[in-house]
Amino acid sequence: MDSSSHSPRPPRGTPSPCACTGRRTPKSLQRSRERKQPSRCPRNLGRTPKEGASRWLSRRSWFSYRLRCNWLSRANEHPGSGGRKKKRRLAAIRSIASFAELPRRVSRCARGVEFSRRERRARGEDPMWRTPSTLALLFSFALASPALGADSWSNPHPGMALLRRTTSTPWRIFALEVDLCARGVSVRATAESERRKTPTAFRSLTGAQAVVNGDFFSFENYYPIGLAVGQGGQWHADNATMGFIAFGPDHSILSAPTEVLASRPDWMREAVGGYPILVENGTALTSFSPAPSHCSSRHPRTAVGLSRGRQKLWLVVVDGRSTSSVGMTCRELATLMADLGAWTALNFDGGGSSAMTIAGTGTVNSPSDGSERTVSNHLAIFADGSGAPGSCDLWLDEV
């Protein structure tokens, strides 16, 4: 064999050339070896950050690479040395350098430096995340995510907009926004002779387009606890515990429990009581007076709210007592009403009484009793799209 065709073998212990360039290790690295600090980091990347950047690397990547290569090469030469402090520092450098996004060519120049799977994955060298099983899992999450926090709007009748919202809490929310100044829109409450009916039965009786349940009541006689006015006839008095919402020609108000109505104004044609007040002056309340015991627990809820100009009305029902919707506390309901835009809001009877029914759609929520409960009174919306609005508040009168 012709020995002239082969380069002479370097003495034992001499650092080998870089795999990418084939150059011999510079004298500076030989001096570092004499100081018992072996390193295999290539110097052809440039002796300064500026020179290195002119090749392949940015200034930041140059520093990250040199720091990484020095430490990892020393660790490979002396795996058992360094103690805890050095190992912690080495782990920190690994975690920093794994996100340096260095070019592949640079990583291959550092002979003896092995990259972890996490580092290779960060650099795009490990295609594990592109396997069919991983892609299928990501795709399934993408399909499921729109159902969490999804809003769906529809316009069941003129002057009405129905929001169906599903959240990850989980909550199922149904909010009917009514334009009180739209043509043909008017509000109606239950008269004494019409009490003790389900919301759907009351809608069928009156021909309304939308109905929700109303005030708390006694199961013995189905009379409400608060103020009740229907078709101009008052059939239950107001008290210092209950608030109420009332409507009349060109009027609409929402009254706090502390404002006891001594006598019914002439304009008041329809009124439904409830408590507590949830929103005042556009701010969701966090404490309630009086404070009902049911407010601190999550239950199905029904609420009503008015905009600042009292020209928009919100009827809201939240399902509860099920795995698909846990219900709300009064504080959570107050936050929801304020987010919808209510300037004032009032809590109605909830639990198994909570129900919303719309003509042409039926019962939009899922009552916790399995079907609609027979209740004392209701709040109904008429919206046939013709004629003057019945309760558009033009005067902003007070009680």
Report residue 315: phi and psi, to 5°: -110, 120
Whether residues 270 and 357 fall in one domain = yes
Domain final residue, candidates 100, 130, 160:
130
In a domain, 136, yes or no: no
Label the pairing between strands 185-189 and 378-383.
antiparallel
Whether residues 68 and 212 fall in one domain = no
In a domain, 398, yes or no: no
In a domain, 139, yes or no: no
Contact 356, 365 (CB under 8 A): yes
When divided into structural domains, the chain yields a total of 2
- CA 168 from centroid of its chain's CA atoms: 7
Whether residues 68 and 192 fall in one domain = no
The predicted structure's pLDDT at residue 131: 56
Distance separating alpha carbons of residues 97 and 69, to the nearest angstrom: 10
In a domain, 80, yes or no: yes
Report residue 137: phi and psi, to 5°: -65, -45
The predicted structure's pLDDT at residue 293: 87
Digit-coded pLDDT (tens) for 99-153: 444 444 444 444 444 555 555 555 555 554 455 555 565 555 444 433 446 899 9
Domain final residue, candidates 130, 157, 184:
130
**Length of the chain in residues, anyone?**
399
In a domain, 218, yes or no: yes
Contact 388, 312 (CB under 8 A): no
Distance separating alpha carbons of residues 355 and 353, to the nearest angstrom: 6
Whether residues 159 and 126 fall in one domain = no
Ranges in the chain, pLDDT < 70 = 1-149, 394-399
E strands in the chain: 150-154, 160-167, 171-179, 185-189, 210-213, 228-230, 233-236, 243-248, 251-255, 270-274, 277-280, 283-284, 301-306, 312-318, 344-347, 356-358, 362-363, 378-383
Q: What are the tokens at 71?
A: 């430490």
The predicted structure's pLDDT at residue 65: 56
Domain final residue, candidates 130, 155, 189:
130
In a domain, 392, yes or no: no
Whether residues 124 and 219 fall in one domain = no
In a domain, 297, yes or no: yes
Whether residues 238 and 348 fall in one domain = yes
In a domain, 79, yes or no: yes
Whether residues 54 and 190 fall in one domain = no
Quote the domain boundaries for residue 50: 15-130
Whether residues 165 and 89 fall in one domain = no
Whether residues 164 and 53 fall in one domain = no
The beta-carbon contacts of 192-198 under 8 Å, at least 24 apart in sequence, are 192/228, 192/230, 192/233, 192/235, 194/230, 195/222, 195/223, 195/376, 195/377, 196/222, 196/374, 196/375, 196/376, 197/374, 197/375, 197/378, 198/355, 198/372, 198/373, 198/374, 198/375
Whether residues 365 and 250 fall in one domain = yes
Whether residues 72 and 216 fall in one domain = no
The predicted structure's pLDDT at residue 63: 54
The CA-CA-CA angle for residues 246, 248, 249, to 5°, reads: 155
CA–CA distance from 189 to each of 61, 205, 236, 317 (Å)?
Answer: 72, 12, 13, 17
Digit-coded pLDDT (tens) for 20-60: 444 555 555 555 555 544 444 554 444 454 444 444 445 45
The predicted structure's pLDDT at residue 173: 98
Whether residues 183 and 307 fall in one domain = yes
Q: Which residues of 145-163 are buried (b: 16+ CB within 10 A; e: fewer)?
A: eeeeeeeeeeebbebbebb
Distance separating alpha carbons of residues 256 and 277, to the nearest angstrom: 6
- Nearest alpha carbon to residue 93 among 111, 110, 69: 69
